Amino acid sequence: MTWKTIPMALLRVEINDKTLGIVRNHKAGSTTAMNYIGQALAGWTPAIEPHYKLWRKTFGVQSYIHKHGTFEDYAYELSECDIRVALWRHPIRKFVSGFHHTMFSETGAQDGLWVTGPRNRTKHDFLDHYDHYSTNLNVLDHCSSNTRKLGPSKDAYTMVLPLYQIDQFRVMLEHMTNKNIHPIRKRQQIYDYDMNQELENRIKAVLEDDYQNGWYSG
């Protein structure tokens, strides 16, 4: 397996003698959450797009777990945090967003997320060769289940938020730091979520663990 970008699996910062831990679950709001933390603790502006080098320079190497794996690889470190935040997204929408990011976006190209070949792949094409594409760990991170990063149980967390409720994380940080944090209103990407039952069933089969573990509702 290969990757190009630097993996940050678990982010950890100290706020008022408490350790806040948040898992980087791709395509579920983790970049926005990083910006909110930067606004609260480091004076970042809403326009800043967080990335590995900036995070490390701002918060130090102790502020993240440097792994490109699954929940089990950092579950212990997460358990030691006082506040444990899970950001998740409906698995089909997460998959479709990850598919478009890895297959078509310039950001995905720059990060080495999509592999060589034609860029007009359909979701069916992608699923036909999912085992091959997912040998690129960045592709796997963006297009896999919530369970892979967050684990099988919501009980591991003190705050569990679907993407559409991420503003609650911002409000919590404001209360903890007494700082004004500007909300980020990202321009919604227009993705093709239209699909027939066959395609939906194929995606559900890839993300089966989310449906088994409840990372699809609530």
Portion of the chain with pLDDT greater than 70, in percent: 83
Cβ neighbour number for residue 158 with a 10 Å cutoff? 13
Give the separation between CA 182 and CA 169, rounded to whole angstroms: 12
Portion of the chain with pLDDT greater than 90, in percent: 57
**pLDDT tier for residue 132 given thresholds of 50, 70 and 90:** confident
Residues 6 or more apart whose Cβ sits within 8 Å of residue 54 = 48
Please provide the size of the chain in residues.
218
For residue 4, what pLDDT is reported?
Answer: 44
What's the rounded mean pLDDT across residues 114-140?
A: 74
Instruction: Cite the DSSP H helix spans in 11-161.
Output: 30-42, 52-59, 75-79, 91-103, 106-110, 123-128, 130-133, 137-143, 146-150
From 178, 15, 175, 29, select the one nearest 82 (Cα to Cα).
Answer: 15
Give the separation between CA 208 and CA 218, rounded to whole angstroms: 17
From 111, 108, 141, 127, select the one nearest 1 (Cα to Cα).
Answer: 141
How is residue 116 annotated by DSSP?
Answer: S
Give the separation between CA 18 and CA 170, rounded to whole angstroms: 17
Q: Cα separations (Å) of 73 from 77, 137, 157, 183, 188?
A: 9, 15, 16, 32, 32
